[in-house]
Every structure is written in structure tokens, then in C-alpha cells.
Amino acid sequence: MDFKVFILGSGAAIPTLQRGTTAHLISCFQRNILIDCGEGTQIQFRRFRLKFQKIDIICISHLHGDHVFGLAGLLSTMQLMGRTSALRIIGPEGLKELISAQLDLVGHGDFFPLDFHILPAGFSGVVYEDKCLAIHAFPLAHRITTFGYRLMEKPNKRRLDKAAFDATGVSVSYIAKLIQGDDITDNEGRVVRSADVTIPGKPAKSYAFCSDTAYTTAILPHIQDVDLLYHEATFTNAFADRAFKTGHSTAAQAASIALKANAKRLILGHFSARYDDEEQHLAEAKVIFENVFAAKDGAVFNI
């Protein structure tokens, strides 16, 4: 199935012409999920020819401006362009009040339904689930309440090994149970083990978003074995002290987290505007974790 991450903004607090503020669009299994929405996100959608009206869910990590100041504008434009379908918005306490304070002023007639799902500080668990996708939230370590998100494909069903099944001679009425992973005993006392007549489904894939956060191993249980990990890397080693003081990470720290989490690939992002490019970040990360990439506005990662 289709599972892609579009980077709409790869910069930190100060937007520049090269790097917008944080926003990731994840397209998976016909769902479109936006994580974070810094100022100018709606323009980035246009710039990269993506369709914001197709967003089903918006997850907000925290209420710093570079992650949320584009949300009221995006919602206003959705409404002006005729959206009627409901939008689920997931994020920390205060989010609903912040957005309402802005939208109440706009007064463009009736707004489409905004279904806020507010997470208490420290929350960890499932925040959305349907038949093919689940979204988990977990706490990050920043200056204010901040959540990471992991988008997980539901486990794929086992598939029948037809030749092996036919050889058992049991009724086809047992297939459903065997595919579920259950062993069966038929009327005639024949035992068939699921593992002998089915093959595992494709592994379920996942994407984890961790920004903004200081280095913390507390997130490891939530991102273990993730296929694609986005972890902020605001600073290089030279500014490790500043990273610590401001609740951010260095590229090396992000790489260390990817290594410990057994992630398959790592994207670095949220680069401070003080850096002209991300070469130093990549160099410092690669020493620790080889399969690392730098986020760029407009980049697409397939999972």
C-alpha cells in the first residue's frame, strides 16, 4: 500500500525562503494526515502541488508558533474553498482555545465540523484507529507539553499456502481461522497448524515523528523498529549546550536515538536558521547511524 511522507517545512523557529516551519503530510492507505502546521503551510501545499482539502486528520505536536501558527489560516482557507467534511484535530491542551480565538474572528458563515481530540499532558496511547491504520501519541521532552506521533499500518493478514493447505485434506471452512493464525482440529481429528499452511503477511510499516525534543531514551519504547524515523536535529555538536538548554537535539543525538530504536531509516530536520546547509548535521549523524537523510522542503520519503 501507499505510505509516503511529504516534507512541507524543514526549518526551525524562523522560516526562511529555503526552509518553511514544521509540517509533514503523510499519505497512507487513502488517508491524509498532516503533522504540525507552521505559518505558511497552506502556501507550501500549493508550492508542492498537494491538496490540503484531502486532509483527514491533523496532529499538532505542541503549541509553539513554528508548529501551529499556520493552522487557523489553513482551516479558514479550507472553509472558504467549500469544505464541508469533518476534520479531526489532535493535539495538546490549549489547542482548541488557540484556534477558536482566531477563527471566531473570521466569521465566514458556518464552519465545517472540527472534531478536536485533546491529549492531556503526559498522555501516551492510541489517538486514532481504523481498519488499516493506527496513530499513537507519546510524550517528548521539550519546554512545553509536546507529543510525538507514530503512524502504524495494521498488521497484514497471513496468506494461504494453497499447495500445503490442499495436502492436508481439511475443509476449506477452516481457512479463515488458519489465516488468523489459529491452529485447527477437524471433525476427523486431523490437526493443522496455521504456521504450516500459511505464510506471514507483509510486515506492517510505520512512521514516527519526534519534534521538538531534547535527547531522551524515554521515547524508545514508542518508536522501536520503526521503518522511518523523523527526529529533530536543530543543532550540530558545536551547539550541544544550546540544544540542551532549549529542549532540542543535536544531529548526533538523533542518530543515537535511531540506532537504539533499531529504526530502518532516519530523517533529520528542524534545522536552525543559523545553518546554510545540513552537511555538518549529516556528517555528525552518519558516524553513529548510516541510513540518515536531511529533510528538505518538498522532499518525499516512501516507506
Contact with its own copies (CB under 8 A) among 143, 162, 190, 193: 143
Indicate which residue of 66, 212, 227, 297 is catalytic.
Answer: 66
Nearer to its own copies, 32 or 44 (CB): 44
Residue 39 interacting with its own copies (CB under 8 A): yes
Nearer to its own copies, 144 or 195 (CB): 144
* Closest C-alpha to 119, from 171, 197, 62: 62
Residue 247 interacting with its own copies (CB under 8 A): no
Least distance to its own copies, CB of residue 164, Å: 57
Report the site for its own copies in 154-213 (rule: CB under 8 A): none
Residue 17 interacting with its own copies (CB under 8 A): yes
**Residue corresponding to grid cell 493478514:** 157
Residue 144 interacting with its own copies (CB under 8 A): yes
Total binding residues toward its own copies, as defined by CB under 8 A: 36
Residue 82 interacting with its own copies (CB under 8 A): no
Nearer to its own copies, 68 or 192 (CB): 68
Contact with its own copies (CB under 8 A) among 35, 72, 137, 252: 72
* Closest C-alpha to 278, from 233, 240, 248: 233
For the record, the C-alpha cell of 44 comes out as 507550501
Least distance to its own copies, CB of residue 66, Å: 8
If residue 166 lies in a helix (H) or strand (E), which one and from where to where? helix 162-168
Residue 11 interacting with its own copies (CB under 8 A): no
DSSP SS3 for 257: helix
**Residue corresponding to grid cell 499456502:** 161
Please give the torsion angle defined by the CA atoms of residues 241, 244, 16 and 73, in that order, rounded to the nearest 10 degrees.
-160
Rounded to whole angstroms, the Cα distance separating 154 from 131 reads: 7
Q: How many CA atoms lie within 13 A of 15 on its CB side?
A: 21
Least distance to its own copies, CB of residue 136, Å: 24
Task: Write down how long the chain is.
Answer: 303
Residue 97 interacting with its own copies (CB under 8 A): yes
Residues 6 or more apart in contact with residue 41 via CB below 8 angstroms: 8, 9, 20, 21, 23, 34, 70, 71, 74
Catalytic residue status for 66:
yes
Nearer to its own copies, 49 or 131 (CB): 49
